């Protein structure tokens, strides 16, 4: 970040105040920030605040005669190393995707030849609306880095994805976009996520309720810290986190093969809820009239224990334990059986599988510690930082 220049576009939303902390982080790391404040952003934060923090003039209008005479929006759009939109509202994302240029911010975004990173913040229903998803997909296809928003309680009282990521996470993404090293630079981490599907016949499978959200969040958090991440994903419908290499599989045996193929790695985080058993699938659909089928159960490969026994074992091996009772005791026993370094246990007797929050019991060589209930995104960031610290 030392000597790098950031053009920060502050959009209109209650989360605009977090842009102040982002400016502080960038400047503390040796970067400079020039701010563009939209009309909506000015409803929540003042130009004086941004100017004081950045120690630079704040730009607000496309029609400022002095600015256009001395610099011009074209020069402003191209002199920075990176353009950051924070917060990026649903309206601002839509105008970016459509190529609209009707104010200073959108004109700069259309005129820039530099990388653009957008940190969304909006109501959960706005984020999940098909129009917003379409706009985000368009922007990503155009090369814009659009971060995934955090999950949690919002100013409007609703809960879900849509919160602006914390400034530290945005700062890490900025470093990654600039090619900065990051604490996990030159590290390779394998992450598994989601369920596995074990076929019974051509139309039926053995499955579970895993959504893949926690594993995908962990993969994204590791990539944001500079790691090269291989995400081995079971059958889920989730967007691939930015900067992550994804391998899609269906069965436990396919997941095991994909994990082994991705070695060597510095760390492996096995979050996927892998089916313990499989059957030899029938070649044709089983008929109800034939009565209950007699299934010949066979054990699936134990991916976590298999990695511990592999001569290419990652330096840090981390497993997850989804339990419904005696959480810590069951997880501690699993850590011993599997030979992994850490186990993250959670109680799945409620709506955790498929939900947006998690409560983790972290078990390592120094014992157990309880993490408070938090969003799966926050769990991912906490774990990613711990992995970075452990790998040094």
Q: What is the dihedral of CA 337, 342, 343, 344, to 10 degrees?
A: 180
**Domains, the chain, with CATH or none:** 5-177 (3.40.50.1950), 188-391 (3.40.50.10300)
What is the chain's alpha carbon radius of gyration, rounded to the nearest angstrom? 23
Instruction: Give dist(CA 241, CA 147) in Å, integer.
Output: 8
What pLDDT score was predicted for residue 60? 92
User: In what helix (H) or strand (E) does residue 160 lie, and over which residues does it extend?
Assistant: strand 159-163
| Distances in whole angstroms, Cα of residue 141 to Cα of each of 38, 88, 220, 370, 383 | 25, 17, 18, 40, 29
Alpha helix stretches (DSSP H) within the chain: 18-28, 47-54, 65-70, 73-78, 90-98, 104-111, 124-128, 130-141, 167-177, 213-224, 252-262, 303-309, 327-338, 376-391
Q: What is the dihedral of CA 157, 159, 163, 168, to 10 degrees?
A: 110
First to last CA, the chain: 20
Residue showing tokens 């967007």: 239
What pLDDT score was predicted for residue 65? 59
* Residue 235: pLDDT over 70: yes
DSSP character at residue 89: -
This prediction's pTM: 0.65
Query: Who has greater pLDDT, 179 or 18?
Result: 18
Alpha helix stretches (DSSP H) within 29-162: 47-54, 65-70, 73-78, 90-98, 104-111, 124-128, 130-141
Q: 167-177 and 213-224 are packed helices; what angle lies between their axes, rounded to 10 degrees?
A: 60
Within 13 Å, how many C-alpha atoms sit on residue 241's CB side? 31
What pLDDT score was predicted for residue 67? 59
In terms of Cα–Cα distance, which of 250, 272, 257 is closest to 310? 257
Residue 189 in 3-state DSSP? Answer: strand
What pLDDT score was predicted for residue 172? 86
* Residue 66: pLDDT over 70: no
What pLDDT score was predicted for residue 212? 94
What pLDDT score was predicted for residue 328? 86
CB 235 within 8 A of CB 194: yes
What pLDDT score was predicted for residue 352? 58
Phi-psi domain of 291 (left: phi exceeds 0; alpha: psi -120 through 50; beta: other): left
Q: What percent of the chain has pLDDT over 70?
A: 96
Structure tokens at 336: 């011993």
* Residue 70: pLDDT over 90: no
| Report for 43-57, 218-232, 321-335: range of highest mean pLDDT | 43-57
* Residue 71: pLDDT over 60: no
In terms of Cα–Cα distance, which of 322, 199, 307 is closest to 256? 307
* Mean of pLDDT values over 18-28: 96
Split at pLDDT 50, 70, 90, the class of 350 is low
* Mean of pLDDT values over 358-376: 89
Q: Which residues carry out catalysis?
A: 156
Per-residue pLDDT tens digits for 94-130:
999 999 999 999 999 999 989 999 999 999 999 999 9
| Distances in whole angstroms, Cα of residue 199 to Cα of each of 281, 284, 286, 300, 302 | 6, 11, 12, 13, 18
Q: What is the dihedral of CA 32, 36, 41, 42, to 10 degrees?
A: 100
* Residue 355: pLDDT over 90: no
């Amino acid at each position: 970040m030392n000597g790098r220049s950031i053009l920060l576009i502050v959009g209109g939303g209650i989360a605009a105040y977090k842009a102040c902390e982002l400016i502080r982080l960038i400047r503390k790391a040796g970067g400079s920030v020039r701010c563009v404040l939209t009309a909506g952003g000015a409803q929540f934060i003042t130009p004086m605040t941004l100017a004081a923090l950045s120690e630079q003039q704040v730009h607000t209008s496309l029609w400022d005669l002095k600015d256009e005479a001395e610099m011009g929006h074209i020069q402003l759009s191209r002199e920075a190393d990176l353009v950051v939109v924070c917060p990026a509202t649903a309206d601002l994302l839509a105008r970016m995707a459509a190529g609209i240029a009707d104010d200073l911010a959108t004109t700069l975004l259309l005129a820039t030849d530099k990388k653009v990173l957008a940190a969304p913040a909006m109501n959960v229903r706005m984020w999940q609306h098909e129009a917003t998803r379409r706009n985000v997909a368009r922007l990503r296809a155009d090369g814009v880095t659009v971060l995934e928003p955090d999950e949690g309680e919002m100013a409007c009282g609703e809960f879900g994805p849509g919160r602006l990521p914390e400034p530290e996470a945005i700062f890490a993404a900025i470093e990654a976009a600039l090619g900065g090293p990051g604490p996990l630079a030159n590290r390779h981490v394998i992450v598994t996520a989601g369920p596995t599907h074990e076929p019974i016949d051509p139309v039926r499978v053995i499955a579970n309720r895993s959504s893949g959200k926690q594993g995908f969040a962990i993969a994204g958090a590791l990539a944001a810290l500079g790691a090269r991440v291989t995400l081995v994903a079971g059958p889920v419908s989730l967007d691939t986190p930015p900067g992550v290499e994804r391998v899609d599989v269906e069965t436990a045996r396919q997941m095991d093969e994909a994990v082994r193929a991705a070695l060597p790695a510095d760390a492996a985080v096995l979050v996927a809820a892998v089916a313990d058993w499989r059957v030899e699938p029938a070649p044709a659909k089983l008929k109800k009239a034939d009565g209950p089928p007699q299934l010949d159960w066979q054990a699936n490969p134990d991916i976590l224990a298999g990695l511990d026994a592999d001569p290419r074992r990652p330096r840090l091996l981390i497993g997850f334990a989804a339990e419904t009772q005696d959480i810590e005791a069951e997880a501690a026993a699993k850590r011993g059986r599997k030979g992994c370094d850490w186990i993250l246990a959670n109680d799945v007797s409620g709506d955790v599988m498929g939900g947006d929050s998690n409560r983790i019991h972290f078990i390592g060589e120094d014992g157990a510690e309880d993490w408070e209930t938090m969003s799966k995104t926050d769990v991912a960031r906490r774990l990613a930082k711990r992995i970075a610290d452990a790998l040094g």
